[in-house]
């Protein structure tokens, strides 16, 4: 087995051998089964299973320290799992990490570009790293320059580019070798919304061409761009589905928006009411989690009126991903003060 | 501070670094009892602005008055009444929670029983009473931020400056953090916070959107949304890409974004919904169209676009 | 200057030192290790220089003369040989460091009252030990010559002979017991120059690096309070370290302590203030721990080692370099310590050096405070 992988490493593009190594269901680009990573007593990743399909934008959503980066590192063959298995493009990451690395593109949140090299020099460097065949090199590089919108700036130092350009250049570098799976680790942190939209446009194009894009983010609103999401918290998956499915299906109750005066006082009052599971302030309004919004609304109005707090709009709203996340990670629907 | 004066008043504030104008003619004010959000992506000038308001960075031009003190003339003058929590965790990781609090209490000369009571109350409010003996470096991200806030509040400041206080913090701790901020407003403080989470902006009373050092607009989130020119539509459909190319360039259709479940489309008038439904039906597409409220990101993108156009 | 804020800084600093294993190691282990390394390294290596003897005369008197080399603890006579060739080969091979050759007319010339040249061949590749070997050789020769002279004079009936003065004053390496005594005070000064600067060089840089400085400068604390609050704990530690080194010197290396304690403490406090302020200054300028600690080593170790009079006597340096040594605070402290340990000189006789230290302390403290800006631009 060891001999095999060493031989393969010499020429990772030997498709015949690759086919032998591939396993798992057709169409699945990333298959993770019971993946665990422990550091001492601490389980950074605790029994995660998931499947990302070909051409899918798969979002991995959770706060810092939830286990996102650890998972991505295992999937990229940089860290070996404690137990469980993972295949990327059908190749086992534990036994053939070198081959996995040839078949993926990876872009870190720090955009690992060399700031003191020009745009072209960076592209040539990464092309060399990923052994892009010489015959394809000119077309791949002009494709990347085009994609990043860097025409006319090929000779600029990467360090002098604005964050949005850098991000697109880093993406270009990561996919020069046409990997079937691309991992993006917090790809748009620190990028302005305009550039972020352009970036996601590119990602959707790549996905349409059949590339599987695996994205981690802790920006809840960014997760909306993904086809499918898993919410990860303390190393475990707490929910999965499309953004819409998550928003409509995974909350334990319904969300009621209450516009009112003296929100602080209103929060205290409503937070203590037995029919309200959770309450939080949003500017001049409250978000209440209730069993049934329609039934709860009159009760809320009565309570506020009794205390002389004038209420405006009271209506059911669709929860945001953050609402979903909070409701799923608060074990007993307790009260956030 | 004079009667009726805003606790934070900024006029024409400008700061350049070599090759970049980080803050460009910023004017805004924050009132008592208000949470004001400076919202924008990294590099928009939020941190630079905060540092100037905290008196740790010298403004290049403009006026800054904080807690009634002119910071251009006397940058040290307001420090006893202001509290600043920088973006990077500013506490000592090898000190315990209690030791950090005591350090800041002594620096601000909060002593004895007053200090004990205030610390106990703030720690209880942050849900950290049982962690007093723990080293700050061993706290979770959310706890660190809450400890930072406790230290920043120990001297009962009038003005609180928070630079990206919830960055990277999990949503549950983020909510707790905001709950603490709201509870402070009863003390009559003014809170200026920055955030790069555009969705978080909705929690502020008023927001100012910053882009490349300039103020795009400044108002309450509700007013901003009400003034949004156009209507945002959420179109849910199986295969959104062909639908996107179908819609792009149609009369009245602005930006078209592919998102996870479908499309995020801006049209010039709510009445377009019926028209789009017909067009999609004619093209044989099954899709549900729903009018939704614009997000702060929509506002931002629209404003940048208009500014450029 | 507000005492509460000063106290806040000092307490915080003490807790940090206490919790940081690395700084405790620097505080306790580094002075002891340096003290032992220098104490043994500088003194013991100079003893037992391997020596070859070539006696061309082989007379009673020449044998008697060479016995003085055999008796000296500075030399280890490896072999007595019969030809020059063997001497040359031995030096080439490194079998000996030095060879002494007695000419064939040694006793004849002495009897005739003529001057005799004793040849010493020294391996000069290590100039320091070569110098030492020559000095020791000279000492042996001159003490033998003195003995001869006294005997000669006595034979002539002149009973009361004043011993020549030149012998004791030649070089300080010569005095077999006192060599340790001269080195140890020097080591104390050097160790403190390095340790003191190193201790504080990290303190400000660390706050910038960890991001704690930004919050600190947004509080009402003044830069004077920051500086004094940070230096106070280290002053105590530095004083402790100096006393530890001095104690090692007295009880381990057997160096005398002939002065009053308060003179020692006064000059120590001044010197520690100097080195701490210097470290603080470098820390402010360096802004990162790596740069600051390296600057600190370069700025203190080299001058303290080379220009303070520790290794090379100042009065033997070129005139221009002698002027430069006045800018090296360790020079004054070294001088004071040697006097304090060995001579017990009263303050009135070395007040200039104490004043020099005090001047440095004041200037550097002001400089360090001024260099720090409560600003991040």
Tell me whether chains A and C touch (3+ CB pairs under 8 A): no
Name subunits touching B (3+ CB pairs < 8 A). Answer: A, C
Considering only alpha carbons, which residue of chain B is nearest residue A246? B261
pLDDT of residue A256 exceeding 80, the answer is yes
A337 touches chain B (CB under 8 A): yes
Facing residue for B108 by CB, picked from C12, C220, C375: C220
Q: Which residues of B touch A200 (CB under 8 A)?
A: 257-258
Higher pLDDT residue, A9 or C187? C187
* Residue A8 pLDDT grade (very low, low, confident, very high; cuts 50, 70, 90): very low
Mean pLDDT, rounded, of chain B: 89
Quickly list DSSP for C156-213: TT----PPPSHHHHS-TTSSTTHHHHHHHHHHHHHHHHHHHHHHHHTHHHHHHHHTHH
Give the tens place of pLDDT for each residue, C210-247. 888 888 988 899 999 999 999 999 999 989 988 988 88
Pairwise CA distance, residues A134 & A112, whole Å: 23
Least trusted range by pLDDT, from A20-24, A34-38, C64-68: A20-24
Beta strand pairing status for B190-195 and B35-39?
Answer: parallel
A213 phi and psi, to 5 degrees?
-115, 125
Does A221 contact B199 at a Cβ distance shorter than 8 Å?
yes
Cα B177 from Cα B145, distance rounded (Å): 8
**pLDDT for residue C161:** 55
Interface test with B, best of A53, A63, A205, A262 (most B CBs within 10 A): A63
> How buried is residue A257: exposed, middle or buried, by Cβ count under 10 Å (0-12/13-18/19+)?
middle
Q: Which of B84, B35, B88 minimizes the C-alpha distance to B201?
A: B35
Is A333 in the B-facing interface, judged by CB distances under 8 Å?
no
Q: Tell whether C80 is within 8 A of chain B (Cβ).
A: no
* Fold held by C47-169: abc type-2 transporter like fold (3.40.1710)
**Each residue's pLDDT tens digit, B222-232:** 888 888 888 99
Whether C24 and chain B come into contact, CB under 8 Å, resolves to: no
* Domain range annotation of chain B: 8-221, 229-293
Contact A229 B297 (CB under 8 A): no
Chains touching chain A through at least 3 C-beta pairs below 8 angstroms are B
Alpha-carbon gap, residue B76 to C152, rounded angstroms: 85
Nearest residue on chain B to A227, judged by CA atoms? B260
- pLDDT of A131 higher than 90: no
Helix/strand number for chain C, H first, E second: 17, 4
Q: Which of B261, B264, B297 sits opposite A242 (nearest CB)?
A: B261
**Digit-coded pLDDT (tens) for C98-136:** 888 888 888 888 888 788 888 888 887 777 777 778 888
Nearest-CA distance B107 → chain A (Å)? 30
Return the closest-CA partner of residue A290 out of A303, A274, A313, A269.
A274
Closest-CA distance of chain B to residue A204, Å: 7
pLDDT top residue among B40 and A81: A81
- At residue A160, the pLDDT reads 84
What pLDDT is stored for residue C47 in this prediction?
66
pLDDT for residue A46 is more than 50? yes
Q: How many residues does chain C have?
A: 377
Residue of B nearest to C229 (CA): B107
User: Taking CB atoms and an 8 Å limit, are B199 and A220 in contact across chains?
Assistant: yes
pLDDT (0 to 100) of residue A142:
92
Residue B161: closest C-alpha in chain C: C218
pLDDT digits (tens, 9 = 90+) for C43-80: 545 567 888 888 888 888 888 888 888 888 788 888 88
Name the more confident of C336 and A328: C336
Q: What is the pLDDT of residue B309?
A: 47
pLDDT tens for each residue of A291-302? 888 888 888 888
What average pLDDT score do residues B249-270 get?
86
Task: Provide mean pLDDT across the span B287-294.
Answer: 87
Q: Which residue of C has its CA nearest to B87?
A: C211
User: Band of the pLDDT at A25, cuts 50, 70, 90?
Assistant: low
- Give the pLDDT mean for B178-199: 87
Residue A181: other Cβ atoms inside 10 A:
22
Provide the token pair at B65.
């008055």
- Alpha carbon of B149: minimum distance to chain A alpha carbons (Å): 16
Query: How high is the pLDDT of residue A3?
Result: 38
**Two structure tokens written together for A105:** 């593109």
Rounded average pLDDT over A246-267: 83
Task: Count chain B–chain C contacts defined by CB atoms under 8 A.
Answer: 82
Mean pLDDT of C276-284: 89
Q: Do B94 and C4 touch (CB under 8 A)?
A: no
What is the pTM for the complete model shown? 0.78
Residue numbers of A between 83 and 112 with CB closer than 8 Å to B:
none
Query: Could you say which of C5, C212, C374 has the minimum Cβ distance to residue B92?
Result: C212
If you count them, how many residues does chain B have?
309
pLDDT-based confidence at B1, cuts 50/70/90?
low
CA–CA separation, C328 and B189 (whole Å): 54
Given a cut of 50, whether residue C344 has pLDDT beyond it is yes
CB A66 to CB B295 under 8 A?
no
Q: What is the mean pLDDT of chain A?
A: 83
The sheet with strand A311-317 has its strands ordered as A276-282, A285-290, A254-260, A311-317
Architecture of domain B8-221: 3-Layer(aba) Sandwich (3.40)
pLDDT range class, residue B308, cuts 50, 70, 90: low
Q: Are A281 and B182 within 8 A, CB to CB?
A: yes
C-beta atoms of C219 and B107 within 8 A: yes
pLDDT attached to residue C173: 35
CA distance C271 to chain B (A): 29
CATH number of A251-329: 3.30.70.100
Contacts of C309 (CB under 8 A, 6+ apart): C186, C325, C331, C334, C335
Identify from C214, C230, C233 which residue to disrupt to test chain B contact, counting B C-beta atoms within 10 A and taking the largest count: C214
How much of chain B is helix, strand and coil, in % rounded to 5?
35, 30, 35
Give B205 to chain A, closest Cα distance, Å.
5
Q: Nearest C-alpha of chain B: how many angstroms from A11?
A: 37
Q: What band does A20 get if pLDDT is binned at 50, 70 and 90?
A: low
Q: Which of B61, B66, B25 is nearest to B45 (CA)?
A: B25
- Which residues of chain B lie closer than 8 angstroms to A337, CB-CB? 125, 176, 179, 183
Nearest in space to C14 (alpha carbons), one of C212, C333, C235: C235
A281/B179 CB distance under 8 A: yes
Q: What is the pLDDT of residues C259-268, one digit of tens each?
A: 888 999 999 9
Q: Round the average pLDDT of chain C to a whole number and report it.
A: 82
What residues of B are in the C interface, CB distance below 8 Å?
51, 54-58, 75-76, 79-80, 82-86, 88-95, 99, 102-109, 111
Of C9, C211, C216, the CB nearest to B89: C211
Q: Among A54-58, B246-250, C178-182, C317-321, which range has the highest average pLDDT?
A: A54-58
Lowest model confidence (mean pLDDT) among B139-148, C61-70, C304-313: C304-313
Nearest-CA neighbor of A37 among A49, A47, A29? Answer: A47
Tens digit of pLDDT for each residue in A276-322? 888 888 877 888 888 888 888 888 888 888 888 888 888 888 888 88
Nearest chain C CA: its distance from B293 CA (Å):
39
What is the ipTM metric for this complex?
0.82
In CATH, A2-103+179-246 is 3.60.15.10: no
C2-28 residues labelled b (16+ CB within 10 A) or e (exposed): eebbbebbbbbbbbbbebeeebeebbe
Mean pLDDT lowest among A132-141, A290-299, B48-57, C161-170: C161-170
The size of chain A, in residues, is: 337
* Top-level class of domain B229-293: alpha beta
């Amino acid at each position: 087995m060891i001999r095999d992988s060493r031989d393969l490493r010499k020429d990772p593009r030997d498709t015949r051998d690759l086919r032998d190594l591939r396993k798992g269901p057709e169409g699945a680009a990333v298959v993770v089964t019971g993946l665990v990573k422990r550091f001492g007593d601490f389980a950074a990743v605790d029994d995660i299973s998931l499947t990302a399909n070909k051409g899918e934008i798969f979002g991995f959503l959770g706060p810092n320290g939830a286990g996102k980066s650890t998972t991505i590192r295992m999937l990229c063959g940089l860290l070996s799992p404690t137990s469980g298995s993972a295949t990327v493009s059908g190749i086992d990451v534990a036994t053939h990490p070198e081959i996995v690395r040839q078949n993926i593109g990876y872009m870190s949140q720090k955009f690992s570009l060399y700031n003191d090299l020009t745009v072209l020099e960076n592209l040539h460097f990464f092309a060399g790293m990923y052994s892009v065949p010489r015959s394809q090199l000119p077309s791949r590089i002009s494709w990347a320059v085009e994609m990043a919108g860097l025409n006319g700036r090929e000779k600029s130092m990467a360090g002098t580019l604005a964050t949005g350009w850098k991000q697109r250049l880093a993406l270009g570098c990561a996919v020069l070798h046409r990997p079937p799976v691309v991992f993006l680790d917090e790809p748009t942190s620190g990028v302005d919304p305009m550039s972020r939209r352009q970036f996601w446009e590119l990602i959707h194009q790549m996905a349409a061409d059949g590339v599987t894009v695996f994205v981690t983010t802790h920006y809840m609103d960014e997760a909306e761009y993904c086809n499918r999401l898993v919410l990860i918290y303390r190393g475990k998956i707490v929910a999965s589905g499309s953004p819409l499915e998550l928003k409509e299906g995974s909350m334990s109750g319904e969300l009621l928006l209450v516009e009112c005066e003296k929100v602080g006082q209103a929060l205290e009052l409503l937070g203590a009411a037995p029919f309200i599971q959770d309450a939080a302030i949003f500017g001049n309004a409250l978000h209440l989690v209730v069993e049934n919004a329609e039934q709860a609304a009159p009760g809320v109005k009565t309570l506020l009126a009794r205390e002389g707090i004038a209420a405006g709009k009271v209506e059911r709203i669709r929860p945001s991903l953050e609402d979903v996340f909070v409701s799923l990670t608060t074990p007993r629907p307790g009260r956030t003060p | 501070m004079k009667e009726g004066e805003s606790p934070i008043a900024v006029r024409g504030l400008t700061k350049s670094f070599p090759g970049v104008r980080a803050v460009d003619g910023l004017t805004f004010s924050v009132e008592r009892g208000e949470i004001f959000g400076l919202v924008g992506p990294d590099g928009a000038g939020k941190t630079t602005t905060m540092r100037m308001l905290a008196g740790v960075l010298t403004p290049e031009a403009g006026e800054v008055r904080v807690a009634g003190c002119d910071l251009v003339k006397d940058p040290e003058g307001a420090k006893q009444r202001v509290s600043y929590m920088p973006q990077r965790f500013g506490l000592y990781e090898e000190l315990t929670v209690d030791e950090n609090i005591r350090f800041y209490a002594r620096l601000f000369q909060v002593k004895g029983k007053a200090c004990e009571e205030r610390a106990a109350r703030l720690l209880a409010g942050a849900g950290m009473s049982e962690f007093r003996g723990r080293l700050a470096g061993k706290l979770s991200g959310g706890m660190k931020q809450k400890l930072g806030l406790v230290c920043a509040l120990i001297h009962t400041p009038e003005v609180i400056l928070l630079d990206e206080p919830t960055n990277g913090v999990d949503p549950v701790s983020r909510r707790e953090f905001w709950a603490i901020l709201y509870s402070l407003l009863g003390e009559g403080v003014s809170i200026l916070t920055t955030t790069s989470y555009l969705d978080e902006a909705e929690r502020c009373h008023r927001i100012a959107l910053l882009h490349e050092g300039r103020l795009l607009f400044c108002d309450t989130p509700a007013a901003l949304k009400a003034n949004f020119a156009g209507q945002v539509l959420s179109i849910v459909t199986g295969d959104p890409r062909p639908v996107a190319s179908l819609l792009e360039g149609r009369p009245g259709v602005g930006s078209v974004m592919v998102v996870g479940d479908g499309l995020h489309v801006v049209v010039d008038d709510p009445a377009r919904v019926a028209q789009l439904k017909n067009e999609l039906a004619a093209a044989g597409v099954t899709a549900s169209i729903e009018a939704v409220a614009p997000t702060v990101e929509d506002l931002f993108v629209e404003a940048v676009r208009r500014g450029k156009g | 200057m507000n005492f509460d804020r000063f106290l806040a800084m000092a307490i915080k600093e003490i807790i940090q030192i206490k919790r940081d294993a690395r700084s405790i190691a620097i505080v306790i282990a580094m002075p002891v290790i340096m003290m032992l390394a220098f104490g043994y390294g500088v003194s013991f290596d100079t003893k037992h220089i391997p020596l070859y003897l070539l006696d061309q005369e082989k007379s009673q008197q020449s044998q008697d003369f060479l016995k003085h080399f055999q008796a000296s603890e500075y030399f280890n006579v490896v072999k007595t040989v019969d030809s020059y060739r063997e001497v040359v080969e031995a030096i080439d091979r490194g079998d000996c460091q030095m060879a002494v050759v007695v000419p064939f007319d040694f006793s004849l010339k002495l009897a005739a009252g003529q001057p005799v040249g004793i040849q010493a061949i020294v391996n000069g590749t290590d100039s320091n030990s070569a110098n030492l070997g020559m000095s020791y050789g000279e000492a042996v020769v001159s003490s033998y010559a003195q003995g001869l002279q006294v005997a000669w004079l006595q034979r002539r009936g002149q009973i009361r002979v004043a011993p020549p003065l030149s012998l004791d004053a030649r070089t300080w390496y010569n005095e077999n017991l006192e060599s340790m005594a001269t080195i140890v005070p020097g080591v104390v000064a050097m160790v403190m120059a390095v340790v003191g600067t190193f201790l504080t060089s990290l303190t400000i840089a660390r706050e910038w690096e960890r991001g704690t400085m930004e919050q600190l400068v947004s509080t009402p604390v003044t830069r004077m309070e920051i500086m004094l609050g940070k230096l106070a704990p280290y002053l105590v530690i530095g004083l402790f370290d100096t006393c530890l080194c001095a104690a090692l010197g007295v009880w381990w290396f057997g160096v005398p302590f002939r002065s009053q304690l308060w003179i020692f403490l006064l000059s120590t406090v001044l010197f520690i203030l100097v080195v701490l302020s210097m470290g603080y200054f470098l820390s402010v300028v360096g802004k990162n721990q790596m740069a600051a600690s390296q600057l600190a080593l370069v700025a203190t170790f080299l001058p303290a080692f080379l220009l303070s009079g520790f290794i090379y006597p100042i009065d033997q340096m070129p005139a221009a370099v002698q002027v430069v040594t006045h800018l090296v605070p360790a020079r004054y402290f070294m001088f004071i310590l040697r006097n304090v340990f060995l001579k017990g000189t009263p303050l009135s006789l070395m007040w200039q050096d104490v004043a020099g230290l005090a001047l440095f302390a004041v200037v550097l403290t002001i400089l360090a405070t001024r260099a720090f800006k409560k600003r991040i631009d």
